[in-house]
Amino acid sequence: MLEKIKSILSQIDADYADVRYEIKKETVIAFNGRELSQITSNSTDGYVVRALKDGGFASAVFTKPSDAERITKLVVENAKLIGKNKTKPVLLAKTEIIKDKFTPPLKEDPRQISIEEKLDITRKANNVCLKFDKIATTNIAYRETIREKSFVSSEGSEIQEDLITISLAGEIIAKDGTLVQNVRVATGGSDGFHTIRNPEAQFEERTKIAIDLLKAIPIKAGIYNCILNPSMAGVFTHEAFGHFSEADIIENLPAMREKMKLGSKLGSDILNIVDDPTIPHQLGFYKYDDEGVKARRTQLMKNGVLVGRLHSRRTAAEFSEPLSGHCVAEDYRFAPIVRMGTIFIEPADKTLEDLFALLGDGLYILDAKGGQTAGENFTFGAQYGYLVKNGKKSDMIRDINISGNLYKTLMGITAIGNDLVLTKRGGCGKGQINIRSCHGAPHIIAQGLVLGGI
Amino acid sequence: MEKLLEIAKKVCDQVEIYSLDNKQNVVSFENAKLHEIDTKFQSGVSIRIIKDGKLGFAYTRNLINREELLKNALNSLQGGVKAEYEFPLTKDLPKLNTYDASIETITTKQMVDECNRICEILKTTNGEVSATAYTYTETIRILNHQGTDVSNTSSHFGVYASISYPGTASGIGRVFSDKKFNPMPAHLIQEIVDYYKLSSQEISAKSGKMKVLFMPNVMYAINWRINSGTSGKSVYEKISPIAHKKGEQIFSEKITIYDDPRDDKYPGARSFDDEGVAADKFYVIENGVLRNFYYDLNYAQKMNTKPTGHGYRTAQWESDAISIKPSPSLSYMRYQTGNKSISQIIRSIDRGIIIEGALGAHSGNIPNGDLSIGANPALYVENGEILGQLKDVMVACNIYELLKNVIDVSDTLYYSYGGVMPAILFDNVSVATKG
C-alpha cells in the first residue's frame, strides 16, 4: 500500500505534501426495541492529500483512484491561491521523521469474535432493558470501527497505524402516560472486545434510572451550586475549557487569542487539566496523529493558569508553541483538525462525602447528555440529578441543562475529588466526529451554574 | 450498476441499488482573511436486498468488485433483520430544475473574491468577521428490481457570513444559497451589520417569563422535536406524545408546517426520496391541526399505511449517506408565512429576547418535546428596541406548549439549516439569566 500512496505523493509539486490512505471497516448491530434493525459489516476506503506551496496550505479528499491526478493538481493550485492571499506565509512546525508500523496490542481482538457472538451480547444487553414494564423502547447498538491508516510525507515519514474502536451503547426510553424520559448507556473503548463483555448489570442500572426519572421533579430555572459526577465534570472540562485549548478555534479570533495567552489565569487555584492521548488502554489512545506527529501528554492548566495548548503542525508554528500531536481526522473523508485526545481534571484529595459536606445546599448532577461550545459560551445537559439539602441527597430531579462561560465558570470550581474516571465512548462533533474523544474528571464542586429547567 | 442489479436479482427476491457521486469545494475566511480551501470528490454505492422477508445491506466506495459487495449483503441477511415491505415501482416523475451547469465553471478564485467582497462590508464594524463559500454538486441514482430507475443531479452554491463580538466567537450570521453562483444579496449582508451593531453592547436583564423570537437559523431546535413527534417511527415505538392526536388542534392556528421536496426555487429539490418513493408536498400541521405522520417504506408497512416518500439516508451524527439505512425524515420542512416582517415583529415586543444562535439543541429530552438551549447570542428587547446582548442565557420550554403560544410568524422565509424557515415570536417563555 505504501508504494501506491508514495506514487501519488510523487505527483504533487509542492514545498511539502502528505498523503493519507485509509481502509475503514465498520460493523453495526442495532436494535430498536425488540427488533433487530441492522446487522452489517462493510469496508470503504479513500485518500486525503495536503500540500504546502508558496506559503499556502490546502487539502483535498477523494475516493476514486482515477481522480488522483486531477486532485493533486487542484490541491497545489489551491495552496498557491491561499499563499497569494496571505500576508504571512503558512509554516509547519518541525517534526521528527518517523518510519513505524504500529498495531495496538488488544486484550481481545474483536476481529476474532464471530458476528453471532456479537449479536448475542447485544441482544442480551437490550433484553435486560426491555424486561421492565415502563420501558417504551430502546436504541441499542454494537459498533466496531477499524481504521487502517497509512501515511507518507514528502519529508520521509512513513507510518501505518490501526485504530480499533468498539462500543455497545444507546438510549433507553421510559414512558408513563404522555411523559417520556430517556437515559444513555455506553461501554466499550479502544482496548479490545473484553470492554463490552458482561454488560447486563450496567444496562439494568441505567434502565432503573430511566424508570425513576418518570417520577423525578423538573428542576426550576435558576443559579445553583452543584456537585458534578465524573462523567458530568468530564464533559464540563471538554466543553468549558478543552475546545478553547484547541489552537485552531482561537487562532483567528484576535480578542480571544489575547485572553487565552499562556500564563492567563482562567481557573481556580486548585484546578489542573491535562490532555494525554498516550495513556494506554484508554478510549482516547493513539500513537501518532493524522499528520504523523507523535502524540504527547500536554499540561493545559496548572493551578488555574493556562500553561499549554493543543496543536497541529500549522498552529504550533503560528503560535510558536511546542507540538502536541493532536491533529486528528474522523476518517479518510476529512483532512485532520486540532482535537482533544484524553482530557481530564487531575484528581485531588476530597472524598465524595467531603464534597457533600462542603456543598451544604445545592444539586448533585450526574451523567452528561451532550454539550456544545461556541466561543466563550457553552451548554451541556445532565441525564439526572438530586436535590442536596444540608449535605444530604434528597429528591431526584430531571430536565437539567447548564449554560456557562469560559472566563467565569472555571473560577467557580471550589473543590476536587480523588476519584478520576475516564469515558468509554466518545463522539465529539467539530465538523467531523471523533469517536475516540475521551474525557474525565473526579467529582467536583462548581458554584453558580445557570440551569435552564424546562 | 445495471450489472450489479442483474446478478443480485438472480439470488434475491428484491434488490435496490443506490449510488451517490459528489464534488465539493469550500473556501473559508477567518478574521476576514482567506484561511482554508478544502476540496472533496466522493462516490459510493449501497445495495439493499430482500430475501425470504429478511434484509441485507452493504456499501462500498468503488464498485470494482460487484460479487464482493453482493456477498457482503448476502452475509448480512443471516442476521435476520425483518423487511416485509416492497421496493416501489416509480416512474413518470416531473422534471425539476435542480441543476445549473454554470456551477462547474465557478473558480475557487471567484469564491475567494466573493468572500473578500462580503468581508470588506462586514469589516466596517468592530467585530471579528468570518465567511465561508461553497459549491456542491451531487448525483443520486436509485435502481430497483421493479424497474425503477430514478436519478437527480443538483447544484448548490452557498455563503455563510458572520460578525462575532470580539473575544466571544458568538455573533450574528446569515446564510445565502442558490443553484448557481450569485452574489450574497445586499439586504442579507446589511442585516448582519445592523443586528450586530444594535446588539454589540453587553447588558443584563432579570430572569422570568417573556416573549422570545426564534430567528430562522435557530428554528432547527424546535424542528428536531416536531420531526421526532410526527415521525412514523416514533408512533410505531409509542414514544410520540401526539400519537393519538391526529385531527386535533395541537398548536396555534398560526402554525402550518409542510414538507416540500419539489420546491426547486431552492437548491437540492427532489421528486423522490432515498428509497425511490415519489415525494411531494405533504402537510404535517395545518392551522395548528395535526394532519399527518410521515413514513418510510419500513415503518409504513409496520403501521399498515402507505409510505409518504420520507425515507432518507440521514442520521443525526452521521453524514455518509451510503452507509446509513433510510429512516423517516422531514428533509424539506417549510412553515407557512405570516403577515409581519421581522423588524415589525421586533417592534411589537414589550420585553423579550431574540435568539440568534442556539447551543445544546441536541441535549434535551427530544422525544418529550423538551427544549433547553443556551441562547448564544440573546438580544434583549424592551419596548420594541434592541438594547444589547445578554450573556449566559438559557431558554427552556416544551415545544407542545410553546407552539400554542405563537404571537407572530414572519412574512419571509430564510434558507436555513434543515429547511426554509421563518422567524417566530412566542409568548410567555422561561428565560434564565445571570442578571
Entry pTM: 0.91
Contacts of B173 (CB under 8 A, 6+ apart): B160, B161, B162, B163, B192, B217, B356, B357
**Residue among A44, A115, A375 minimizing CB distance to B170:** A375
Higher pLDDT, B362 or B101: B101
Cross-strand pairs, B206:
none
**Residue among A29, A222, A377 minimizing CB distance to B170:** A377
Nearest CA in chain B to A61: B40
Q: What is the pLDDT of residue B317?
A: 66
- Inter-residue contact A76 to A16 (CB < 8 Å): no
| Pairing state between β B370-375 and B358-359 | antiparallel
- Cα of B158 vs its chain's centroid, Å: 15
Cβ–Cβ of B368/A433 closer than 8 Å?
A: no
Find residues 429-448 of chain A whose CB sits inside 8 Å of chain B. 429, 433
Contacts of A413 (CB under 8 A, 6+ apart): A267, A268, A270, A271, A444, A445, A446, A447
- Inter-residue contact A262 to A321 (CB < 8 Å): yes
- Measure the CA angle with vertex A50, ends A49 and A54; round to 5°: 145
**What is the radius of gyration, based on Cα positions, of chain B?**
23
Check if A453 contacts B (Cβ < 8 Å).
yes
- Measure the CA angle with vertex B33, ends B29 and B39; round to 5°: 40
Check if A113 contacts B (Cβ < 8 Å).
no
DSSP B168: T
- Inter-residue contact B375 to A404 (CB < 8 Å): no
CA distance A321 to A251: 13
CA distance B415 to B417: 7
pLDDT at residue A16 greater than cutoff 90: yes
CA distance A254 to A241: 18
Check if A371 contacts B (Cβ < 8 Å).
yes
Cβ–Cβ of B363/A370 closer than 8 Å?
A: yes
Average pLDDT over every residue of A168-184: 93
- Inter-residue contact A226 to A415 (CB < 8 Å): no
Residue closest to A165 by CA, chosen among A370, A429, A438: A438
Nearest CA in chain A to B69: A42
**Residue among B81, B357, B364 minimizing CB distance to A36:** B81
Q: What is the pLDDT of residue A451?
A: 87
Per-position DSSP letters for A386-410, written without gaps between them: EEEETTEEEEEEE-EEEEEEHHHHG
Residue closest to A30 by CA, chosen among A189, A164, A137, A132: A137
DSSP B80: -
Cβ–Cβ of A119/B79 closer than 8 Å?
A: yes
* Residue range A241-294, pLDDT digits in tens: 999 899 999 999 888 899 899 999 999 999 999 999 999 999 999 999 999 999
**Residue among B31, B42, B365 minimizing CB distance to A333:** B42
The neighbour count for residue A175, using CB atoms within 10 Å, is 22
Question: How confident is residue A405, by pLDDT bands cut at 50, 70 and 90?
Answer: confident
Residue A127 burial (10 A CB sphere; 0-12, 13-18, 19+): middle
Check if A6 contacts B (Cβ < 8 Å).
no
* Residue range A138-163, pLDDT digits in tens: 999 999 999 999 999 999 999 999 99
State whether the Cα torsion B347-B348-B353-B355 is positive or negative.
negative
pLDDT at residue B364 greater than cutoff 80: no
Chain A residues with CB under 8 Å of B365 CB are 180-182, 398-399
Residue closest to A345 by CA, chosen among A281, A376, A299: A299
Per-position DSSP letters for A316-331, written without gaps between them: HHHHT------EE-SS
Check if A32 contacts B (Cβ < 8 Å).
yes
CA distance A245 to A319: 12
**Residue among B36, B392, B398 minimizing CB distance to A454:** B398
Average pLDDT over every residue of A333-343: 97
How far A44 CA lies from chain B's nearest CA (Å)?
A: 5
CA distance B30 to B430: 35
pLDDT at residue B52 greater than cutoff 80: yes
Nearest CA in chain B to A80: B37
For chains A and B, CB pairs below 8 A equal 280
The neighbour count for residue B410, using CB atoms within 10 Å, is 24
* Residue range A62-108, pLDDT digits in tens: 999 999 999 999 999 999 999 999 889 999 999 999 999 999 999 99
Question: How confident is residue A239, by pLDDT bands cut at 50, 70 and 90?
Answer: confident
Mutation pick from A175, A219, A253 vs chain B, by most beta carbons of B within 10 Å, is A253
Please, what is the end-to-end C-alpha distance for chain B in angstroms?
62
- Average pLDDT score, chain A: 94
Average pLDDT over every residue of B386-391: 94
Q: Where are the beta strands (DSSP E) in A75-221?
A: 99-102, 135-153, 158-176, 179-189, 217-218
Cross-strand pairs, B220:
none
Higher pLDDT, A386 or A2: A386
Place of cell 443538483: B154
Mutation pick from B19, B61, B109 vs chain A, by most beta carbons of A within 10 Å, is B61
Chain B residues with CB under 8 Å of A403 CB are 359-360, 374, 392-394, 432
* Residue range B163-215, pLDDT digits in tens: 999 887 789 999 999 999 999 999 999 999 999 999 999 999 999 999 999 99
Contacts of B280 (CB under 8 A, 6+ apart): B261, B262, B271, B309
The neighbour count for residue B204, using CB atoms within 10 Å, is 12
**Residue among A81, A178, A371 minimizing CB distance to B109:** A81
Please state the three-class secondary structure of B364-385 as a single string: CCCCCCEEEEEECCEEEEECCE
CA distance A196 to A201: 12
Any alpha helices (H) in B269-324, and if so which ranges?
297-302
Give CA separation, B229 vs A154, B235, B245, in Å: 53, 8, 11
| Prior bond of A218 cis (ω within 30°) | no
Question: How confident is residue B435, by pLDDT bands cut at 50, 70 and 90?
Answer: low
Please state the three-class secondary structure of B103-164 as a single string: HHHCCHHHHHHHHHHHHHHHCCCCCEEEEEEEEEEEEEEEEECCCCEEEEEEEEEEEEEEEE
Chain B residues with CB under 8 Å of A32 CB are 233, 237
Using DSSP, state whether B101 is helix, strand or coil. Answer: helix
Cβ–Cβ of B237/A137 closer than 8 Å?
A: yes
DSSP B263: -
ipTM for the complex shown: 0.88
Per-position DSSP letters for B319-370, written without gaps between them: --GGGS--EE---SEEE---SB-HHHHHHT-SEEEEES-EE-TTSS-TTTTE
CA distance A454 to A399: 6
State whether the Cα torsion B188-B190-B193-B198 is positive or negative.
negative
- The torsion region of residue A80 among left (phi > 0), alpha (psi -120 to 50) and beta comes to alpha
Residue closest to A23 by CA, chosen among A181, A148, A202, A163: A148
- Measure the CA angle with vertex A102, ends A100 and A103; round to 5°: 160
| % of chain B exceeding 70 in pLDDT | 99
How far B333 CA lies from chain A's nearest CA (Å)?
A: 23
CA distance B30 to B242: 44
Phi, psi of B370 (to 5 degrees): -75, 140
Cβ–Cβ of A58/B38 closer than 8 Å?
A: yes
Q: Which helix (H) or strand (E) holds A124?
A: helix A115-130
**What is the radius of gyration, based on Cα positions, of chain A?**
23
DSSP B388: E
Higher pLDDT, A407 or B203: B203
Buried b vs exposed e over B57-80: b needs ≥16 C-beta within 10 Å? Answer: bbbbbbbeebeebbebbbebbebe
* Residue range B214-230, pLDDT digits in tens: 999 999 999 999 999 99
**Residue among A87, A136, A452 minimizing CB distance to B396:** A452
Average pLDDT over every residue of A327-335: 96
Structure-derived torsion over alpha carbons of residues A380, A381, A387, A388, reported in degrees to the nearest 10: -40
DSSP A219: P
Residues in chain B: 435
Q: What is the pLDDT of residue B27?
A: 97
CA distance A140 to A121: 11
